[in-house]
Amino acid sequence: MRTAPALLDLQRCFLDALYDAEETGPTEQLVDVGIEPAARLRIYRHNSELIHLEALRTTFPAVAALVGEAFFEHAAAHYRCMQPSRSGNLQAFGEHFPECLERLPNVQQFPYLGDVARLEWRRQVAVLASETRALTRAEFESRLAALEGAARMALHPSMQRFVSAYPVLALWQYATQPTAERLTLPESGDRVVLWRSEGEVAMAAIDSASFACIDALARGDTLDAAHAAASAQDPSFDLPACITSLVAASLVTEIIPVQPEESSSCACSDI
Amino acid sequence: MSNEEIIAMSASPMPAAAGIGLRAPHVSRVLRERPRVPWFEVHSENLFAAGGSLHGAMERIRADYPLSLHGVGLSLGSADALDSLHLKRLVELVERYQPALVSEHLCWGAVGGRHSNDLLPLPFTEEAVALLASRISQVQDTLGREFLVENISTYLRFQDGDYTEWDFVAEVVRRSGCGLLCDVNNIYVNSVNHGFDPRTYLHSLPRDRVREIHLAGFTRKDEFAVPLLIDTHSRPVDAAVWDLYAEAIAYFGPVPTLIEWDQDIPELEVLLAEAAHAEEVLDAYRACTA
């Protein structure tokens, strides 16, 4: 006499079949009328594969354009098996896609692909980051004037930084907005900052000194330390101009005074 | 919370009129033109992120329109555990937007931490009824308000059920004291896929618990020896579903009705025309009963 499995066992068996075409799934527990049970299960596997493919296509449009539809489907299917979805919210699906993509045999002749994917994941992080009100120019100047010691700056949560040995920004723009002209890539890599601006993700490739400054600020360093990091890249680095750009782009959300025991130097005299 | 308390809280500010599912391609136009739509429904998970432009848009839309939050990822029927983080996000969302209705599907989608991100069928067993009733009660207690559950479309059936599908749905609603989101298209799809009379299903549902109706379009798969309909939300509502909807309104009375369209999303006018069709059905019922 056949006994129906407990719900948990049934669901484990069902989900195994959705993630692995070699798994037969709970076909013996299914009504066998009109369409064979294995074919009915394949409908669900196909649906789930399509859902995950579309989620990746939404998050990684440049990668999809660069590799073509057939290869992207292959990469998505591989990723889905290697890194099953771990959330009922599909916005979280795809974090490890860049590393998975790089490990595919045919991708190694296109070494920039992983970094294009990493840039796209940072775009996703920027899109979903929490909202925090930025300081106006007047508020910033008022806080600055009231400072009596060293300070840190809180940047907008959507702000992301990314360094690549490849010209990822040009690659991303070419992939998402192709032109008839042949793409001529610069030989150098990119230091990219990304942030959310009026609902869209803005991206800019910036010089090494500005990047060092923003990177230091984002990591919580003082303005002094950020200035020093930037000056190590370029002794003529213009700190006030860099900070003014951040304020103008609504990316500074607070100036945080550093307690005297943390630092005795004032970092803001140059701004 | 007792069932009586939940029912007492269910007086819905949602109008018994035809709203539409608001999807990304239409958000900016809705913000700009403020079309005459009685209410909107959005997928809860699309608003789970802490920030993003969608929140800004939805706050402005919410100021002018009643809103329904419809979940697709809570996986109420997973036998191992309810995702507490997912539920926490839903609670935060409900507190932020104060929607008129909050709903999810009578299904499962994940087990052992792996998600299909699809709406998977449950066996119609006593074990599944007990699990769902317990989970829905947990969600209602956490939200502190009535929660709606929706019947899903399915492409397979399990043997050895203790209930028919319609009795399964009715029993879950009865035990948990939740509201019912009756998807009329899903009833029709399942009636074709599994061979039953959709009117039997419809008339077996607890009509005093029906808070919302969903309508959508399906596609036909022709490669099998028997008919199979897939709930794709990619086409206009089928004529047979409009007929069943008219019968549903005659049985339930006027109920907030939603036009869903999630793939190959057309211009807003197409959705508005579908909603106008639903309004005609609601008006015809009111004219007959006036």
From B111, B123, B228, residue closest to A35, measured CB to CB: B228
A88 and chain B in contact, CB less than 8 A: yes
Task: With CB atoms and an 8 Å threshold, state whether B114 touches A19.
Answer: yes
State the pLDDT confidence band at B195, using cuts at 50, 70 and 90: very high
Tell whether the model's pLDDT for residue A269 goes beyond 60: no
Same domain, A76 and A166: no
Tell whether the model's pLDDT for residue B6 goes beyond 50: no
Average pLDDT of chain B is: 95
* Contact (CB, 8 A) for B204 and B170: yes
Q: What is the pLDDT averaged over residues B200-227?
A: 96
- The number of angstroms, rounded, from the C-alpha of B56 to the middle of its chain's C-alpha atoms is 25
Given this model, what pLDDT does residue A184 score? 79
Query: For an interface test with B, which of A7, A16, A23, A81 has the most B Cβ atoms less than 10 Å from its Cβ?
Result: A7
Give the end of a domain, one of A110, A141, A156.
Answer: A110
Range of the domain at B11: 3-289
Which residues of A are less than 8 Å from B159 in CB distance? Answer: 4, 29-31
Same domain, A105 and A223: no
State the pLDDT confidence band at B12, using cuts at 50, 70 and 90: low
Query: For an interface test with B, which of A11, A93, A159 has the most B Cβ atoms less than 10 Å from its Cβ?
Result: A11
Query: Which range among A35-39, A249-253, B13-17 shows the weakest confidence by mean pLDDT?
Result: B13-17
Same domain, A77 and A187: no
B59-108 per-position pLDDT tens digit: 999 999 999 999 999 999 999 999 999 999 999 999 999 999 999 999 99
Given this model, what pLDDT does residue A2 score? 52
Same domain, A138 and A265: yes
The count of domains in chain B is 1
A200 and chain B in contact, CB less than 8 A: yes
> Strand pairing partners for B181?
B150, B212
State the pLDDT confidence band at A262, using cuts at 50, 70 and 90: low
A48 and chain B in contact, CB less than 8 A: yes
Domain annotation covers residue A42: yes
DSSP chain A: ---PPPHHHHHHHHHHHHH-TT---SGGGB--SSS-HHHHHHHHHHHHHHHHHHHHHHH-HHHHHHH-HHHHHHHHHHHHHHS----SSGGGTTTTHHHHHHTSGGGGGSTTHHHHHHHHHHHHHHHHSPP-PPPPHHHHHHHHHH--S-EEEEEPTT-EEEEESS-HHHHHHHHHS--SSPP---SS-EEEEEEEETTEEEEEE--HHHHHHHHHHHTT-BHHHHHHHHHHH-TT--HHHHHHHHHHTT-EEEEEEPPTTT--S-S-TT-
Pairing of strands A200-205, B67-70: unpaired
Write out residues 210-269 of A within 8 Å (CB-CB) of B: none
Given this model, what pLDDT does residue A263 score? 52
From B108, B112, B155, residue closest to A40, measured CB to CB: B155
State the pLDDT confidence band at B19, using cuts at 50, 70 and 90: very high
Q: What is the pLDDT averaged over residues B157-170?
A: 96
From A12, A37, A128, residue closest to B156, measured CB to CB: A37
How far, in Å, CA of B114 to CA of A16, rounded? Answer: 10
Q: Say what percent of chain A tops pLDDT 90.
A: 85
Same domain, A74 and A165: no
B287–chain A nearest CA distance, Å? 42
Given this model, what pLDDT does residue A3 score? 62
> Strand pairing partners for B112?
none
How far, in Å, CA of B153 to CA of A62, rounded? Answer: 34
Tell whether the model's pLDDT for residue B266 goes beyond 60: yes
Domain annotation covers residue A116: no
State the pLDDT confidence band at A116, using cuts at 50, 70 and 90: very high
Same domain, A253 and A139: yes
Terminal CA-CA length for chain B: 37
Q: What's the CATH code of the domain at B107?
A: 3.20.20.150
State the pLDDT confidence band at A5, using cuts at 50, 70 and 90: confident
Tell whether the model's pLDDT for residue B259 goes beyond 50: yes
Given this model, what pLDDT does residue A90 score? 95
Given this model, what pLDDT does residue A268 score? 46
How far, in Å, CA of A177 to CA of A127, rounded? Answer: 19
Same domain, A265 and A175: yes
Q: Please give the torsion angle defined by the CA atoms of residues A181, A187, A191 and A197, in that order, rounded to the nearest 10 degrees.
A: -10
Range of the domain at A106: 10-25+37-110
Same domain, A70 and A139: no
Taking CA–CA distances from B108, the nearest residue in chain A reads A11
Tell whether the model's pLDDT for residue A267 goes beyond 50: no
Q: Which regions of B40-187 does DSSP assign to beta strands (E)? A: 40-43, 67-70, 101-105, 108-111, 114-120, 148-150, 179-183
Same domain, A74 and A196: no
Domain annotation covers residue A249: yes
The count of domains in chain A is 2
Which residues of A are less than 8 Å from B45 in CB distance? Answer: 88-91
Which residues of A are less than 8 Å from B108 in CB distance? Answer: 11
Which residues of B are less than 8 Å from A130 in CB distance? Answer: 50-51
Same domain, A101 and A146: no
Average pLDDT of chain A is: 93
Same domain, A143 and A247: yes
From A35, A51, A86, residue closest to B118, measured CB to CB: A51
Which residues of A are less than 8 Å from B158 in CB distance? Answer: 4, 10, 26, 29-31
A87 and chain B in contact, CB less than 8 A: yes
Tell whether the model's pLDDT for residue A176 goes beyond 90: yes
Six token digits for residue B23: 């999807």
Pairing of strands B108-111, B40-43: unpaired
Given this model, what pLDDT does residue B154 score? 98
Same domain, A79 and A147: no
Given this model, what pLDDT does residue A109 score? 87
